[in-house]
Structure formats: C-alpha cells, structure tokens
Amino acid sequence: PKISPFLEPGKTTQVGSLAILQLSRDNLQPVYLKAPSGKHDGYAEGAVVNTRYGSFPHSTMIGVPWGSQIRASKVDTGSRGRNNKRKRNKSDDDGKEASATVAEEKTEQESTPAEVNDDSAAVAKKIVADVSGFIHILPPTPEVWTSSLPHRTQVVYTPDYSYVLHRIRARPGSVLIEAGAGSGSFSHASVRAVYNGYPSEGERKGKVYSFEFHEQRFHKMNQELKEHNLNSLVHLTHRDVYNGGFLIDGKSPGAEAIFLDLPAPWEALHHLSRRNPKNPEDKEWVSPLNPKKSAHICTFSPCIEQVTKTVSAMRRLGWVDIDMVEIANRKYHTSRERVGLNLSMDRGVNNSARDVDEALSRLTEIEARFREHAARSKESDDEVDGDEDDGLIKRREKKEQKGGKKRGGEKKVKIDHKPDSPESFEALPSGVPMWMEGRLITRGEPEIKTHTSYLVFATLPIEWTEEDEAAAAARHPVIG
C-alpha cells in the first residue's frame, strides 16, 4: 500500500505532496503541491499560493528538501490581470461592487483554470526570485496537522496527546480504540504512535479503531484519512458508542489502549469490559479488549463533574490505578542576545576593570571577524544598500550591518546569516562559532492561559484464571 506522508514523508517534496506551509510561527497552511501546468487562475507559473509574505508558485516548492526556506517569487500577473479584469467587468455587469484586490488575493485552492498554458522552461524564466519574504515548507506531521487542520470540533492538542499516548502505552503494534474522532487531531497522533510498518502475515499490525456518530464529521474524516493514505491504519466507524459499543462486525478489535473524548465517557465504559457487566456468565458476550494484555484508558473531560461520574463508573467496572492529571502547558521563547550588545552590560558595573578589558578584547575579535567577512564578500555595497529590496532577510541583514557599523566604525559590511552558509559556522578567533555569540535568553509565558481538560487514567488488568495460575506456576515453581 501507498505509505502515508504522515508516517514516511520521504526526503523531498513532490508533485501531489501534502505540504504544510509555515508562514510564521503559528500560521500554518496545508497545500497539495500541483505540477506547474500553467493553468491556474491565469498565473503563467501554474498554481500559486499568495500570502502576505509574497507569492509562492508551487513550481518553486517541488523537489526541495522538507524544511527548506522558500523565497517569494515575482509572478507574472499579466494573464491574472486579464482574468481579474474579466471578473471585474462581470461583477460590474451584475451591478455588484467589484474589488480587484479580492481577486488578487485568491489562493491556489480557490483557483479556476484559465487560458494560459506555458511550458516549464517559459515558466522558469518568468519566476524572478526576489520580492518580499519567505516561508518554510514542512512535511505533514501530527503536530503541524493539529495546528493547521480544518477544525470541526474542539481538538486535542499536542501537549495533551503526547502525554496521553505515553500513559496509555500506545506503541508500535498496539491496537487502540478512540471515540469520538471529531476533527481527527488525536487520530493522526495515535496512528503514528501505533504504526509498525506493514508487518507480514500473522504479525499484529498497529491499528486505530475510531468512532464518530456525527454524520458529516464522519464523512469528512473518512475523506481526509483517504487523502492522507491512513485509511488502512485507521478504521473509522459511524456509530453512537454509548449504545453501539466498539465491536467491528460483531468481532473484537482486540484493543489494549483506549482514548475517550466524549461528553459522557461513563456511558460508554460498560462496553469496555472483559465480561458482560450485567451477566458475567454470558458466554456470547464479546469484549472489544485484548484478553492477553491489561487495558489502559484515558478519558478527556473539561468539567470536574464529568470526572467524578467517570471515576465512579470505572470503580464499579473493576478498573484500577485510577488517577487524574491536568496538563498545564507553558511555552518558552529562547533566543540569543545580539552579538556585541551584552559585552559590558551583562557583567555589571562593579566588575568594571577586568570585565571592560575582557569586553574590549571580545569586541576587537568580533570587529576583526566583521572585517574579514567584508573583505571576502564579493557583493558590492550597492547591492546591499541599493534600491532593490529583496526581502525580510536582506532588511534584517541591513539592520545588523548598521549596528556593526556604529560599533565597529566599519563601513558597510555584509554578513551572511543563512544557517546553511558555511561562513556562519566559522569560529571567531576565540574559537566560539559566530552563531553561538551572545547569551541565551529564555522567557516563559507569564501565566498558563487555558484549561484544556482533565485526563482520567485507569487500568483494567487481564483476567487471571486457574489455568493461567497453573501455567505460571509451571513456568516459575514456588520453592518450598
């Protein structure tokens, strides 16, 4: 079977790849990369993603290593202009107010075929890599999917699901039950946790059995699972689990890990027993659990009243080791102090004599380094300070250079801060790599902003029969 890009994305992007475009730290946009056929909304370049950071033709994002930085391109707006004009005229005809900007802002996802059909050579010529900004192209992972997925419900976020999956012991080869599926955030994380490749006959395949009773959400999620090639690993059933339970065509999925994100988990718990809770002697009753392993469950509820009811039902049904956890996630922002700025400041005035000397010698080192860079740089000052504005990076560089000029008395100096530039890894005379200059500063969020949910964990041990005891005694005879 085709392997899901969520599980094995490969090294580079391809036509048809699901890519997550990271516009800024928390602004992620999923996109399917299209071949540059030149047929999208009048762009000669083919499909284009327009963002506030510039335009990004798909052709510039295909065949690059995942994680690459993509610079904005100047797109040929000629045909698009014609297209917009057409739309404008049409709107005018309709007597409605038309806006060229609205049409300009259309993204590739909304695009319609237009009359232009250039070949790739012509396309390449028309793309001039300069304009304003850049983005990063990321492979789909459960984490970025959680941040970018189309929300249909409240979802479980990474800090919660990573802890939950650890506590319910989801691991390669596990069989996991999940209800309700909702927007599929937890499903994506859990399928990666249980994925153990495509094992040979007889070997147990890690699998997620997911349940959702809302019809539209069920269909949407089914479609997404197909698009992500996860449908052979996540089995989604349209069902009300309070009444219908967790069997698949009357058979047991054989689960040992369970996650319930439902309004009333206690109403589903009686199905997750080893025997019929109403009649333990009922031989016809089928348990959805793996009889050979303890079952580990987590229920996810925002209110403490729900927790109380769940815990009470768990106790009655024989679950043990019941406890509750709330994840209070706090983000930390870590950065380095600007090179040079901290030299005399961070050591305090009282240490002056020795520290000023030290600061001066470090400054001299850094200045020497800047001069070296300037001498090596083949690009002229004009290119840096010229009219052409080629992006946020260059602007950032210019700003840094201005700082350098002030401090070091240097003229204009070009410093390459691109992480892939070998120069940026070179050491200062002191042996400290350039990029490690400056103190690390870490700032935590002042307060925890949100309560997500209470997580209730419990374990249902395996049944221990006389035969099990006899077999165990044979394996480990009791001495005396």
Q: x/- string (CB under 6 A) for ligand SAM, residues 116-155?
A: -------------------------------------xxx
- CA–CA gap between residue 145 and residue 30 (Å, rounded): 8
Residue type at 67 in one-letter notation: G
Which of 46, 57, 142, 184: binder of ligand SAM (CB under 6 A)? 184
Structure tokens given for 224: 């997404």
179 sits near ligand SAM (criterion: CB under 6 A): yes
> Between 151 and 204, whose beta carbon lies closer to ligand SAM?
151
Which residue stretch of 106-114, 179-187, 281-289, 419-427 sits at the interface with ligand SAM (rule: CB under 6 A)?
Answer: 179-187
Among 76, 108, 143, 212, binds ligand SAM (CB under 6 A): 212
* φ, ψ dihedrals at 457, nearest 5°: -115, 145
| 339: nearest Cα among 421, 428, 442, 422 | 428
The residue count for binding ligand SAM (CB under 6 A) is 22
Summary count for the chain: helices (H), strands (E): 13, 15
Is residue 241 a contact residue for ligand SAM (CB under 6 A)?
yes
Strands 175-179 and 295-301 come out as: unpaired
In this chain, which of 44, 103, 208, 262 binds ligand SAM, going by CB under 6 A? Answer: 262
The yes or no reply on residue 454 touching ligand SAM (CB under 6 A) is no
Sheet holding 234-238, edge to edge: 234-238, 207-212, 175-179, 257-260, 295-301, 454-460, 320-326
Restricted to residues 263-282, the positions that interact with ligand SAM (CB under 6 A) are: 263
358 C-beta neighbours (distance < 10 Å), count: 14
**Contacting ligand SAM within 298-317 (CB under 6 A):** none
Q: Is 211 in the site for ligand SAM (CB under 6 A)?
A: yes
Which one, 35 or 317, has the nearer CB to ligand SAM?
317
Point out which span in 69-77, 183-191, 398-406, 426-434 binds ligand SAM (CB under 6 A): 183-191
Q: How far is the CB of 443 from ligand SAM (least distance, A)?
A: 29
Site for ligand SAM in 217-236 (CB under 6 A): 217
Nearest approach in angstroms of CB 454 to ligand SAM is: 14
Query: Quick one: which of 53, 213, 246, 370 contacts ligand SAM (CB under 6 A)?
Result: 213
328: left (phi over 0), alpha (psi -120 to 50) or beta: beta
- The site for ligand SAM (CB under 6 A) is made up of 153-156, 179-180, 182-186, 211-214, 217, 240-242, 261-263
